[in-house]
């Protein structure tokens, strides 16, 4: 017998206004949301509880583009190459392949939820929707903060990589007669944030077109890489053999070989193929989001997984076999050194300049994504200064204040760069830990307190297959959270400490304290911004619909079917 009860008076009885609601024994009163039965995007968004405020300019390709751009294969591999090669070329290669397999499962897990409830709020909204009544607002608030922190960490790590690449190009162009300091890195980092802020403030139509341009730029860069590097290597040096490419392990840490393989091999792919929740945060600007968002998520993940695998094979074949020399390059960028060794100074400078440009596009895309997350969170009064941040510029159809807030947060977190390279490396781990906690929570709740109210969207593989994939994804994410918090050495000190655990736990603790001392008075979960006129327009816009007809949409057995 079903635990779900329907309510035709949901509009008057409950603070979250939508077309109708259902009552679950475990999850309480929530909106009835059925993406498969909604006639259009406006009706589906009204079911979720919101009116249209942003223009839907993004096609499936452009939604894919924002995740693909943020992942930015070659720029990301350049930023994480030191970590991967610390375990040797085989660790770098097979760690990428293994990690990518499990990340596809994580992507499926998110795509399924995004198809069912496509909203810019994403993770914190889903958490509220599926959580038990007593825990809804607190869990939703903490996940909203965690997801925002993770995206801010993503902005910082991407822009930090941009700064290092720009300075490595300058270093190479000057034949090493240039000293790279932490202050200079932060200066270039700050300039990058300001430029990304400027681009993200442009009209939403331009931002959508930018994703298409980013896809083209990244693919051109990859094509140049596949052609130029092997030709240069064949001309100026010899290729490494298959044993080196596929089977050479070299442990340069004081951890065991097995742990080094996991920590050094998995982290590059986990950091690179990340932030695909950016597609979710663009849901209210996407056409047919119940289809386009899942396509964007899984398309970006699988494309980067396979392309990245072949990129690493080429790198392993063309690099100097003295791994220690590649890692300790004075330029600070192993990829710069690889190109310098095979193609000479001018080609190395040109290629790293192109890589830096693509990394800048990555920064613009993730700045756009975090601004939509902060805007959605502020719309529900979950963010600091929500009434100010949630305002949308109607002329540009862009939440300008949320973009500025995103940049300010990133500049503050980026101050870790001034502490030193070890502290700066925490920028990479912050995003992993924060994201995985935020991604896991609604999935766990969907299978526990929310199991009787989950109604799949247009992307779903069936209950049994879905459970197997989601279980695999949860197990891998739990392991990665632990892995990302470990230091690089078995005997850490203040200089080698992994500060990700300190920063993330500190933010979570402060979030809980802030919630109980102040924010719970204002944040009560997702708040509908539908007014009576919008509500009636949505009702009347559905052919043959009325409140009574809408109230009969869900039979009690339908929700149980997908539990």
| DSSP sequence for 18-75 | SS-EEEETTTEEEE---TTT-SSHHHHHHHHT----S---B-HHHHHHHHHHHH-HHH
How high is the pLDDT of residue 529?
76
235 exposed, middle or buried (CB, 10 Å; 0-12, 13-18, 19+)? exposed
How high is the pLDDT of residue 563?
42
> What span, in angstroms and rounded, lies between the C-alpha atoms of 238 and 320?
9
Residue 315 contacts by C-beta under 8 Å, 6 or more apart in sequence?
A: 77, 81, 89, 92, 229, 335, 338
Instruction: Identify the residue whose tokens are 């800048």.
Output: 360
Looking at the DSSP bridge assignments, the partners of residue 58 are: 286
User: How many domains does one find in the chain?
Assistant: 1
The helix (run of H) or strand (run of E) holding residue 109 is helix 89-116
- 28-31 β-sheet, strand order: 4-7, 21-24, 28-31
> What span, in angstroms and rounded, lies between the C-alpha atoms of 91 and 81?
11
Show the tokens assigned to 257: 């070989």
> What span, in angstroms and rounded, lies between the C-alpha atoms of 491 and 10?
58
Q: Which of 193-197, 336-340, 387-391, 500-504 has the highest mean pLDDT?
A: 193-197
Q: Which of 414, 508, 378, 465 has its CA nearest to residue 158?
A: 414
> What span, in angstroms and rounded, lies between the C-alpha atoms of 18 and 46?
6
Query: What is the pLDDT confidence band of residue 532, given thresholds at 50, 70 and 90?
Result: low
> What span, in angstroms and rounded, lies between the C-alpha atoms of 42 and 19?
12
Q: What is the CATH number of the domain that holds 161?
A: 1.20.1740.10
Q: Which of 561, 396, 440 has its CA nearest to residue 110?
A: 440
Q: Which of 190, 192, 207, 526 has its CA nearest to residue 390?
A: 526
Domain holding 149, by residue range, is 4-561
The pTM of the full predicted model, rounded to 2 decimals, is: 0.84
Q: Are 345 and 381 in contact (CB under 8 A)?
A: no
Range in 124-138, 156-170, 336-350, 495-509 the model is least confident about: 495-509
Range in 344-353, 463-472, 537-546 the model is least confident about: 537-546
What does the DSSP assignment read for 501-560?
A: HHHHHHHHHHHHHHHHHTGGGT--S------HHHHHHHHHHSTT--HHHHHTS--HHHHH
Task: Please report, rounded to a whole number, the percentage of residues in the chain having pLDDT higher than 70.
Answer: 89
Q: Which of 36, 164, 101 has its CA nearest to residue 558?
A: 36
How high is the pLDDT of residue 257?
93
> What span, in angstroms and rounded, lies between the C-alpha atoms of 20 and 37?
13
- Cα torsion 5, 126, 66, 459: sign: negative
- Cα torsion 401, 402, 403, 408: sign: positive
- Express each pLDDT in 364-409 by its tens digit: 988 988 898 898 889 888 888 888 988 888 888 888 999 999 999 9
More confident site: 264 or 176: 264
Query: What is the pLDDT confidence band of residue 537, given thresholds at 50, 70 and 90?
Result: low
Region of 50 please: left (phi>0), alpha (psi -120 to 50) or beta.
Answer: beta
The radius of gyration computed from the CA coordinates of the chain, to the nearest angstrom, equals 24
Residue 198 contacts by C-beta under 8 Å, 6 or more apart in sequence?
A: none
- Express each pLDDT in 283-320 by its tens digit: 988 899 999 999 999 999 999 999 999 999 999 999 99
The SS3 of residue 6 is strand
């Amino acid at each position: 017998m079903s635990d779900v009860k329907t309510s035709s008076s949901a509009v008057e009885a409950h603070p979250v206004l939508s077309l109708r609601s259902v009552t679950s024994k475990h999850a309480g009163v929530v909106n009835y949301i059925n993406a498969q039965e909604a006639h259009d995007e406006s009706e589906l968004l009204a079911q979720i509880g919101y009116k249209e405020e942003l223009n839907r300019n993004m096609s499936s390709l452009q939604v894919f583009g924002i995740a693909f751009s943020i992942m930015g294969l070659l720029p990301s591999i350049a930023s994480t190459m030191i970590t991967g090669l610390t375990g040797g070329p085989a660790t770098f290669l097979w760690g990428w392949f293994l990690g990518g397999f499990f990340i596809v499962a994580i992507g499926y897990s998110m795509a399924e939820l995004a198809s069912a409830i496509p909203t810019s709020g994403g993770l914190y909204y889903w958490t509220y929707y599926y959580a038990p009544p007593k825990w809804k607002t607190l869990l939703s608030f903490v996940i909203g903060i965690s997801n925002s922190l993770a995206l801010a960490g993503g902005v910082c790590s991407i822009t930090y990589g941009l700064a290092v690449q720009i300075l490595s190009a300058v270093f190479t162009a000057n034949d090493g007669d240039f000293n790279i300091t932490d202050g200079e890195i932060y200066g270039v980092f700050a300039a990058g944030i300001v430029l990304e802020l400027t681009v993200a403030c442009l009209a939403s139509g331009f931002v959508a077109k930018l994703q298409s341009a980013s896809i083209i730029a990244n693919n051109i860069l990859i094509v140049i890489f596949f052609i130029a590097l092997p030709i240069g290597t064949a001309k100026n040096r010899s290729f490494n053999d298959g044993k080196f490419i596929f089977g050479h392990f070299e442990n340069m840490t004081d951890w065991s070989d097995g742990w080094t393989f996991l920590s050094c091999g998995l982290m590059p792919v986990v950091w690179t193929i990340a932030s695909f929740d950016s597609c979710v945060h663009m849901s209210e600007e996407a056409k047919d989001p119940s289809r386009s968002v899942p396509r964007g998520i899984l398309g970006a993940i699988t494309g980067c997984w396979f392309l990245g695998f072949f990129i690493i094979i080429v790198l392993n074949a063309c690099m100097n076999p003295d791994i220690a020399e590649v890692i300790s390059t004075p330029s600070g960028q192993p990829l710069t050194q690889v190109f310098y060794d095979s193609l000479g100074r001018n080609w190395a400078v040109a290629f790293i300049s192109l890589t830096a440009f693509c990394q800048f596009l990555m920064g613009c895309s993730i700045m756009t994504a975090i601004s939509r997350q902060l805007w959605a969170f502020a719309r529900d009064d979950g963010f600091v200064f929500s009434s100010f941040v949630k305002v949308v510029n109607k002329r540009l159809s862009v939440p300008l204040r949320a973009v500025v807030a995103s940049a300010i947060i990133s500049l503050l977190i980026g101050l870790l760069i001034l502490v030193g390279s070890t502290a700066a490396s925490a920028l990479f781990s912050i995003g992993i830990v924060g994201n995985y906690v935020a991604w896991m929570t609604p999935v766990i709740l969907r299978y526990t307190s929310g199991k009787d109210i989950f109604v799949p969207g247009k992307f779903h593989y069936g209950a049994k297959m879905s459970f197997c994939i989601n279980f695999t994804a949860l197990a891998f994410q739990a392991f990665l959270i632990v892995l990302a918090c470990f230091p690089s050495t078995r005997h850490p000190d203040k200089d080698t400490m992994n500060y990700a655990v300190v920063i993330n736990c500190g933010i979570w603790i402060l979030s809980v304290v802030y919630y109980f001392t102040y924010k719970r008075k204002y944040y009560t979960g997702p708040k509908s911004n539908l007014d009576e006129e919008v509500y009636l327009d949505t009702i009347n816009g559905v052919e043959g619909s009325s409140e009574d007809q809408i109230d009969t949409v869900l039979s009690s057995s339908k929700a149980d079917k997908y539990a």
